[in-house]
């Protein structure tokens, strides 16, 4: 998930011709005066923190400024914020438009129908989840023709717009569809979409680009996401790694098995701290990398749960023993292993010889790792 901050989403919008307020991005209060002048942003202006979390308006992350000095002051205050755990690196300054009604529009994926889903509502500016179903118009878009004329008209009817405004909204819908399709988006959302004079203007932009399409979009490779630093390293090494609240690390192979292991651990009173899915690999180098990454997360104990189907348990065990020797002494953690499948007896013998607690029963293993981590929560 490449979640783009508002300013980055609006850069894409601009490329596709979506109507936007005039705006400029700054990273320090000292840049404000020049930036406003260069971009031709008139005062009063809106000063917005560029963070991914929602609820900025209520949370003090959006302010208004009537003068350049006020804009500098607001920028300074916002850059010092930590908004819902997120540091603010950029501030977007935009002209304050005289807006009429606020609308909602989005394009996303309907997984069940396997179709892009367009949603429109006349009730914008609030969370769409809080809008009554009867006030939302949904159109499922066939990817082959894409979003066509009558579908646009149906969505625009939900806005209750006519004349020039309706035409402006239809144009916007065409642009949004192209963004969704050509930029490999998971989500394109404008909330609110505002009526300004005789056209609709995107006051906000929420764009998420699909991770798996990143090979087509190197332009987003520098996007800071809401991953932790370790999750970021894992992503570069192509290891599925998720940091959670607890203190026990789980390494397993396959997403389903890793999740199931976390569930059993939690059910018996353990607190999962890291989800690490080795995937289909038995490459010793990858196993070592995974182990070192786990060590950096400083778990109180680690549970390794492997089912060797195609891979052989003894190969996995050898890789593990090798990997453990590379963990620096100050980061060592107690390890409980459960290895099942091909050549499991040989695998277990190798682990036991290396001093690793090696069991076969899942419940027993989970209890052993919980006690190694210092007991139940």
Partner 1 sequence: MSVLIDADTRVLVQGITGHQGTVHTRNMKAFGAQVVAGATPGKGGQEVEGVPVFNSVDDAVRKTGANATCIFVPAPFAKDAFLEAVDAGIRLAVIVTEHIPFHDMLVMYHYGRSKDARIIGPNCPGIAAPGKSKVGIIPNVVFRPGRVGVVSRSGTLTYEIVNGIKERGLGQSTCLGLGGDPVVGTSFVDALPWFEKDPDTDLIVLVGEIGGTAEEDAAEYLGRHVSKPVVAYITGHSAPPGKRMGHAGAIIARGKGTADSKVRALESAGAHVAKFPYEIPALVEQYLPRPSGR
The alpha carbons of the chain give a radius of gyration, in whole angstroms, of: 26
Element (H, E) at 182: helix 163-182
| C-alpha distances out from residue 156 to 120, 127, 174, 184, Å | 8, 19, 12, 24
Q: Taking the complex as a whole, how short is the minimal distance between the CB of residue 134 and partner 1, in angstroms?
A: 19
Please state the closest distance from residue 210 (CB atom) to partner 1, in A: 6
Query: For residues 147, 148, 153 and 156, what is the CA-based torsion angle, rounded to 10 degrees?
Result: 20
Q: What are phi and psi of 293, to 5 degrees?
A: -65, -45
Cβ-based neighbour number of residue 229 at 10 Å:
9
CA 299/CA 320 separation, integer angstroms:
17
Q: Which is nearer to partner 1, 35 or 276 (CB)?
A: 276
Per-residue binding letters, 271-290, with partner 1 (x by CB under 8 A): -x--x-x-xx----------
Find tokens 């009730």 and name the residue. Answer: 123
User: Among 186, 189, 289, 314, which residue interacts with partner 1 (rule: CB under 8 A)?
Assistant: 186
Q: Could you tell me the smallest distance in angstroms from the CB atom of residue 267 to partner 1? A: 7
Q: For partner 1, which is the closer residue by CB, 94 or 186?
A: 186
Q: Give yes or no for residue 52 binding partner 1 (CB under 8 A).
A: no
* Distance separating alpha carbons of residues 252 and 262, to the nearest angstrom: 10
Catalytic residue among 104, 151, 186, 231: 104
38 three-state secondary structure? helix
Q: Which stretch binds partner 1 (CB under 8 A): 8-16, 149-157, 158-166, 209-217?
A: 209-217
Q: Which residues contact 259 (CB under 8 A, 6 or more apart)?
A: 275
What is the pattern of x (binds partner 1, CB under 8 A) and - over residues 331-360?
Answer: ---------xxx------------------
Residue among 39 and 362 whose Cβ is closer to partner 1:
362
The binding site for partner 1 (CB under 8 A) comprises 1, 109, 111-112, 114-116, 129, 142-144, 181, 184, 186, 210-213, 215-216, 240, 242, 244-245, 252-260, 262-267, 272, 275, 277, 279-280, 307, 309-310, 340-342, 361-363
């Amino acid at each position: 998930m490449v979640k783009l901050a508002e300013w980055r989403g609006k850069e894409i919008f601009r490329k596709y011709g979506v109507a936007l307020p005039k705006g400029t991005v700054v990273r320090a209060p000292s840049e404000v005066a020049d930036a406003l002048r260069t971009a031709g942003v008139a005062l009063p202006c809106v000063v917005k923190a560029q963070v991914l979390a929602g609820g900025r308006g209520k949370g003090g992350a959006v302010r208004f400024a009537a003068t350049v000095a006020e804009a500098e002051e607001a920028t300074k205050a916002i850059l010092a914020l930590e908004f819902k755990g997120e540091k603010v690196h950029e501030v977007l300054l935009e002209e304050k438009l005289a807006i009429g009604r606020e609308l909602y529009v989005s394009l996303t994926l309907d997984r069940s129908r396997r179709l892009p889903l367009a949603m429109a509502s006349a009730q914008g500016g609030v969370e769409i989840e809080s809008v009554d179903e009867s006030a939302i118009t949904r159109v499922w878009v066939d990817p082959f023709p894409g979003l066509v004329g009558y579908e646009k008209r149906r969505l625009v009817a939900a806005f209750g717009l006519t004349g020039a405004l309706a035409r402006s909204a239809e144009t916007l819908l065409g642009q949004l569809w192209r963004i969704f399709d050509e930029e490999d988006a998971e989500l394109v959302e404008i909330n609110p979409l505002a009526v300004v004079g005789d056209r609709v203007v995107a006051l906000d932009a929420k764009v998420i680009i699909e991770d798996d399409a990143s090979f087509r979009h190197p332009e987003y490779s520098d996007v800071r996401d809401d991953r932790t630093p370790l999750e970021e390293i894992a992503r570069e090494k192509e290891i599925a790694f998720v940091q959670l609240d607890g203190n026990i690390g789980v390494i397993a192979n396959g997403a389903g098995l890793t999740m199931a292991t976390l569930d059993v651990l939690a059910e018996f009173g353990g607190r999962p701290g890291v989800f690490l899915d080795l995937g289909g690999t038995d490459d010793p180098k990858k196993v070592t990398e995974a182990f070192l990454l786990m060590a950096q997360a400083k778990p109180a104990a680690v549970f390794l749960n492997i089912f060797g189907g195609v891979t052989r348990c003894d190969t996995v065990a050898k890789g593990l023993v090798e990997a453990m020797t590379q963990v620096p002494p100050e980061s060592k953690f107690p390890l409980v292993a459960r290895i099942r499948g091909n050549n499991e007896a040989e695998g277990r013998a190798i682990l036991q010889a290396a001093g690793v607690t090696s069991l076969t029963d899942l419940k027993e293993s989970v209890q052993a790792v919980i006690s190694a981590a210092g007991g139940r929560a």
